[in-house]
Amino acid sequence: MPSPRDRRATRALALLVAATLGTGLVAVGAGADPGTTYTTRQFRLPTAAGVTLDATLFVPSTATPEHPAPAVVIGHGFGGSKRDVRADAADLARHGYVVLTPTARGFGASTGQIGLDLPEYDGKDLSATVDYLADQPMVRLDGPGDPRVAVAGASYGGGLALVGASHDDRIDAVAAVITWNSLATALLPNAADPEGGRGEPGVFKQAYAGALFGSGASRPGAEAAACGRFAADVCAAYADVSAGGASPATRALLDRASVASRLGAVRAPTLLIQGEDDTLFPLAEAVRTYQGLRAQGVPVAMVWAQGGHDAPFSTSGESAIRARTRAWFDHYLRGASRSPGPAFSWYERTTGRVGTAPSYPVPGTRTTTFGLAAGGVLSTGPTDPAAVQQLANPPGGEPSAVSSVPGLGGFGGLAGGLLSDPPSQTASWTSAPLTADLNVVGAASLRVHVSSSTGSAVLFAKLYDVGSDGAAQLPSGQVAPLRVTGLAPAGRDVAVTLPTLAHTFGTGHRVRISFVATDRAYLGDRRANVIRIRGTALSGLSVPSAPSPSGGRGLLWAVAVGVLLAAALASLSRVVTVRVRRASAAHVGDADATPIVVRGLTKVYGDGNRAVDDVSFAVERGQIVGLLGPNGSGKTTTLRMALGLITPTAGGVELYGERVRPGAPVLRRFGTFVEGPGLLPHLSGRDNLQLWWRSTGAALVDAHLDEALEVAGLGAAVDKPVRSYSHGMRQRLALAQALLGKPDCLILDEPTNGLDPPQIREMRELIRGYAAEGKTVLLSSHLLSEVEVTCTHAVVMQSGRVIHHGPVSELLALGAQVHISVGAQPLRAAAVLGAVRGVRAVTDVGGGDLVVDAPATMRPVLVRALVEAGLDVVEVSVRSRLEDVFLDLVGATAVGHAVGSGGEG
Amino acid sequence: MWLELLRQLRRRRTYVTFALVVGLPILIVTSIAVGGGPGDGRQGDLVDVASRSGINAAFFCLQAASGFLLVVVVAMFAGDAVASEASWGSLRYLLVRPIPRWRLLRVKLAVAALLSVTAVLLIPVVGLAAGTVAFGWRPASTPLGGAFSVGTGLERLAAADAYIAVSLAVVLALAFLFSTMTDAPLAAVGGAVVATVVSQILDLVSSLGRVRLFLPTHYWFSWLDLLSTPVPTGAMARGLVSAVPWTVLPLAVAFWHFRRKDVLS
Please indicate if any CB of chain A lies within 8 Å of the CB of B114: yes
Q: What is the mean pLDDT of residues A222-241?
A: 75
Per the CB < 8 A criterion, the answer to whether B228 and B152 are in contact is no
Q: What is the 8-class DSSP label of residue A306?
A: S
Q: How far apart are CA B195 and CA B199, in angstroms?
A: 6
**Structural fold of domain A816-879:** Alpha-Beta Plaits (3.30.70)
Instruction: Give the model's pLDDT for residue A342.
Output: 86
Q: How far apart are CA B75 and CA B77, in angstroms?
A: 6
Of residues A18 and B152, the one with the higher pLDDT is: B152
In this structure, of A211-215, A654-658, A679-683, the range with the lowest mean pLDDT score is A211-215
Instruction: Give the model's pLDDT for residue A275.
Output: 92
Contact B7 A574 (CB under 8 A): no
Above 50 in pLDDT, residue B3? yes
Closest CA to A442 of A497, A501, A369: A501
List chain B residues with CB under 8 Å of A665: 98
Contact B109 A664 (CB under 8 A): no
List chain A residues with CB under 8 Å of B97: 667-668, 692, 695-696
Render pLDDT for B149-189 as a digit per residue (tens, 0 to 9): 899 999 999 999 999 999 999 999 999 999 999 999 999 99
In this structure, of A136-140, A414-418, A865-869, B29-33, the range with the lowest mean pLDDT score is A414-418
List chain B residues with CB under 8 Å of A581: 103
ipTM of the complex: 0.89
Residue of B nearest to A747 (CA): B96
Closest CA to B177 of B71, B255, B261: B255
Please indicate if any CB of chain A lies within 8 Å of the CB of B6: yes
Residue of A nearest to B91 (CA): A678
Render pLDDT for A787-839 as a digit per residue (tens, 0 to 9): 888 899 999 888 899 988 888 877 776 666 788 888 788 888 888 888 888 78
Residue of B nearest to A582 (CA): B99
Residue A806, H or E segment: strand A801-807
* Residue of A563, A645, A666, A679 to mutate when probing chain B, most B C-beta within 10 A: A645
Contact B263 A678 (CB under 8 A): no
Pick the CATH number of A596-807 from 3.40.50.300, 1.10.3730.10, 1.10.10.10, 3.40.640.10: 3.40.50.300
Residue of A nearest to B92 (CA): A645
Above 90 in pLDDT, residue A684? yes
Please indicate if any CB of chain A lies within 8 Å of the CB of B263: yes
Contact A646 B263 (CB under 8 A): yes
Q: What is the mean pLDDT of residues A873-902?
A: 58
Instruction: Give the model's pLDDT for residue B178.
Output: 96
- Of residues A574, A664, A737, nearest to B110 (C-beta): A574
Instruction: Give the model's pLDDT for residue A780.
Output: 92
Above 50 in pLDDT, residue A350? yes
Contact B107 A570 (CB under 8 A): yes
Contact B89 A576 (CB under 8 A): no
Domain assignments of chain A as residue spans, ordered by start: 4-341, 366-549, 552-586, 596-807, 816-879
List chain A residues with CB under 8 Å of B85: 678
Per the CB < 8 A criterion, the answer to whether A614 and A798 are in contact is no
Of residues A153 and A580, the one with the higher pLDDT is: A153
- Of residues B3, B11, B106, nearest to A691 (C-beta): B3
Work out the angle at residue A337's Cα, subtended by the Cα atoms of residues A331 and A343, and round it to the nearest 5 degrees: 55
Instruction: Mark B147-167 as b/e (b = at least 16 C-beta within 10 Å).
Output: ebeeeebbebbeebbebbbbb
State chain A's mean pLDDT as an integer: 81
Render pLDDT for A263-274 as a digit per residue (tens, 0 to 9): 989 999 999 999
Contact A678 B260 (CB under 8 A): no
List chain B residues with CB under 8 Å of A694: 3
Contact A646 B7 (CB under 8 A): no
Please indicate if any CB of chain A lies within 8 Å of the CB of B82: no
Among A residues 730-749, those touching chain B with beta carbons less than 8 Å apart: 734, 737
Domain A4-341 and domain A596-807, same fold? Reply is: yes
List chain A residues with CB under 8 Å of B110: 570-571, 574
Q: What is the mean pLDDT of residues B5-23?
A: 90
Query: At A680, is the pLDDT very low, low, confident or very high (cuts 50, 70, 90)?
Result: very high
List chain B residues with CB under 8 Å of A589: none
Instruction: Give the model's pLDDT for residue A287.
Output: 94
Render pLDDT for A488-502 as a digit per residue (tens, 0 to 9): 778 888 889 999 998
Query: At A885, is the pLDDT very low, low, confident or very high (cuts 50, 70, 90)?
Result: low
Please indicate if any CB of chain A lies within 8 Å of the CB of B39: no
Query: At A688, is the pLDDT very low, low, confident or very high (cuts 50, 70, 90)?
Result: very high
Query: Which amino acid, A36?
Result: T
Contact B95 A644 (CB under 8 A): yes
* Residue of A572, A682, A749 to mutate when probing chain B, most B C-beta within 10 A: A682
Instruction: Give the model's pLDDT for residue B112.
Output: 95
Instruction: Give the model's pLDDT for residue A573.
Output: 39
Q: Which residues contact A245 (CB under 8 A, 6 or more apart)?
A: none
- Of residues B85, B106, B259, nearest to A570 (C-beta): B106
Please indicate if any CB of chain A lies within 8 Å of the CB of B34: no
Render pLDDT for A755-770 as a digit per residue (tens, 0 to 9): 888 888 888 888 888 8
Please indicate if any CB of chain A lies within 8 Å of the CB of B1: yes
Question: Looking at CA atoms only, how far is residue B251 from chain A in angstroms?
Answer: 12
Q: What is the mean pLDDT of residues A645-657?
A: 92
Above 50 in pLDDT, residue A586? no
As assigned by CATH, the class of the A366-549 domain is mainly beta
Please indicate if any CB of chain A lies within 8 Å of the CB of B103: yes
Residue A381 CB neighbours (<10 A): 11
Instruction: Mark A179-189 as b/e (b = at least 16 C-beta within 10 Å).
Output: bbbbbbbbbbb
- Of residues B90, B98, B101, nearest to A680 (C-beta): B90
Q: What is the mean pLDDT of residues A16-22?
A: 40
Above 80 in pLDDT, residue A14? no
Per the CB < 8 A criterion, the answer to whether B141 and B49 are in contact is yes
List chain B residues with CB under 8 Å of A559: none
List chain B residues with CB under 8 Å of A691: 3, 6-7
List chain B residues with CB under 8 Å of A571: 106, 109-110
Question: Looking at CA atoms only, how far is residue A640 from chain B in angstroms?
Answer: 8
In this structure, of A117-121, A586-590, A607-611, A884-888, the range with the lowest mean pLDDT score is A586-590
A–B: how many Cβ contacts below 8 A? 109
Residue B141 CB neighbours (<10 A): 20
List chain A residues with CB under 8 Å of B251: none
Q: What is the mean pLDDT of residues A157-167?
A: 93
Q: How far apart are CA A806 and CA A792, in angstroms?
A: 9
Cα distance from N-terminal residue to C-terminal residue, chain A: 62
Q: What is the mean pLDDT of residues A159-186?
A: 93
Q: What is the mean pLDDT of residues B7-27?
A: 91
Contact A678 B92 (CB under 8 A): yes
- CATH for the stretch A4-341: 3.40.50.1820
Above 50 in pLDDT, residue A11? no
Strands, E assignment, A453-593: 457-466, 472-473, 480-484, 492-505, 510-516, 529-535, 541-545
